[in-house]
Homo-oligomer: A and B are copies of this chain.
Amino acid sequence: MASSIRDVAREAGVSVGTVSNVLNRPEKVSPATVERVLAAIERLGFVRNDAARQLRVGRSRSIGMVVLDTRNPFFTDVAHGAQAQALSDGYTVLLGGSDEDSSREVALLDLFEEQRVAGLLISPVHTDLSRLWRLREAGTPVVLVDRGSSDHSFSSVSVDDVEGGRIAAQHLVDIGRSRIGFIGGPLAIEQVAQRLEGAQAVVSKYRGVALTVFQPQALTVLEGRRIGEEIVAMPAATRPDALFAANDLLALGVIQALVMTGSLRVPEDIALVGYDDIDFAGAAVVPLSSVRQPATEIGATAVKLLMHEADGDRGPEQVVFQPTLVSRASTLGYE
């Protein structure tokens, strides 16, 4: 069986307290003793039991993170940024994906709560935040990721999604398109709803420009392809001449559908803007214009806010990044 701190103490001829000190505050122990204990640890192949440590200390050194989709490169990048920052603060990030399903989300929260995570980063499916309130009441700091806290009750780090929708739609209008299709859903996802809102705001300013909404079941390549096929099948008169997809996964799926059937050209017949500017966007059949968000920075910032909350010095803070448009071939851009 795995040896315990007690075995190490016996082996090194010291007390358990001393072994614990060697592990946690070696500067409090005389060098000779440290050496002796380390040798014993080595000899026994001792590995500290984190469960026991945690039980005693009350909190874990892990941060729970819930994102909408672990397979979406955008969230992978956010998580990567969070990981790196957490590491430098001595924490570990546990990543879980809700797959945009609120029951999976609840299951993850249960799990993290049982683990007594040091904090929670979440990109919630729900608009209902009561569960998060409870968690926070119970002493677990919570930071909303990629989603603002409208009433400022939570710390959050987000990107201005309304503005993102605005610049995407404006760009399409600027290149002369008038029948704009928005692809995104479920609309219950705040980010999607806000990007739509931004697009609508622009469209309503121009007479002669109309917006049609296509609602996929999920924000995936597969669903994008399905919607793309749907659009190809529309009569040319009503078919959009420009599309704004709520994320790049959808956009890439749409491109696949358009290009594979070969009947419609991008951007000549249909221009296309995506969202997130994932690494793969620039390498697409038709390099994809996209609204860029600073993914890793979002993750890193979220962890920083979490640390602030944990310190308890200040109240909730909101950080809002501004999105930028990256224009490529799919909207006549160069690059």
Closest chain-B Cβ to A91's Cβ sits at a distance in Å of 11
> CB-CB < 8 A to A54: which residues of B?
51
**Closest B residue, CB atoms, query A99:** B80
Q: Is the CB of B51 within 8 A of A55?
A: yes
**Closest B residue, CB atoms, query A335:** B260
CB under 8 Å from chain B, chain A span 43-101: 45, 47-52, 54-55, 60, 70-71, 73, 76-77, 79-80, 83, 92, 94-95, 97
CA distance A287 to B114 in the complex (A): 46
A252 on the interface (CB 8 Å rule)? yes
CB under 8 Å from chain B, chain A span 107-129: 110-111, 113-116
Known interface pairs A45-B138, A280-B252, A283-B255; A50-B115 also in contact (CB < 8 Å): yes
Q: Is the CB of A76 within 8 A of B80?
A: no
> CB-CB < 8 A to A134: which residues of B?
45
A316 on the interface (CB 8 Å rule)? no
A213 on the interface (CB 8 Å rule)? no
> CB-CB < 8 A to A50: which residues of B?
51, 114-116
Closest chain-B Cβ to A115's Cβ sits at a distance in Å of 5
Q: Is the CB of A70 within 8 A of B80?
A: yes
CA distance A256 to B255 in the complex (A): 17
Q: Is the CB of B60 within 8 A of A70?
A: no
Interface residue count on the A side (C-beta < 8 Å):
48
A50, A116, A253, most chain B CB atoms within 10 A: A50
Known interface pairs A51-B51, A51-B116, A111-B92; A283-B282 also in contact (CB < 8 Å): no
Known interface pairs A114-B49, A115-B50, A283-B221; A73-B73 also in contact (CB < 8 Å): yes
Copies in the complex: 2
A202 on the interface (CB 8 Å rule)? no
CA distance A284 to B279 in the complex (A): 11
Closest chain-B Cβ to A277's Cβ sits at a distance in Å of 13
CA distance A256 to B94 in the complex (A): 33
Q: Is the CB of B116 within 8 A of A49?
A: yes
CA distance A125 to B335 in the complex (A): 36
> CB-CB < 8 A to A45: which residues of B?
134, 138
A2 on the interface (CB 8 Å rule)? yes
A14 on the interface (CB 8 Å rule)? no
Q: Is the CB of A279 within 8 A of B51?
A: no
**Closest B residue, CB atoms, query A71:** B76
Closest chain-B Cβ to A317's Cβ sits at a distance in Å of 26
> CB-CB < 8 A to A48: which residues of B?
114
- Contact for A283 among B47, B110, B285, CB less than 8 A: B285
> CB-CB < 8 A to A80: which residues of B?
70-71, 97
> CB-CB < 8 A to A52: which residues of B?
51, 55
Q: Is the CB of B280 within 8 A of A113?
A: no
**Closest B residue, CB atoms, query A2:** B138
List, sorted by A's number, 10 A–B pairs whose CB atoms are closer than 8 Å. A1-B139, A45-B134, A47-B114, A51-B116, A70-B80, A83-B97, A221-B283, A253-B283, A280-B284, A284-B285
The 5 closest A-B pairs by CB, nearest first: A51-B54, A50-B114, A280-B280, A51-B55, A252-B283
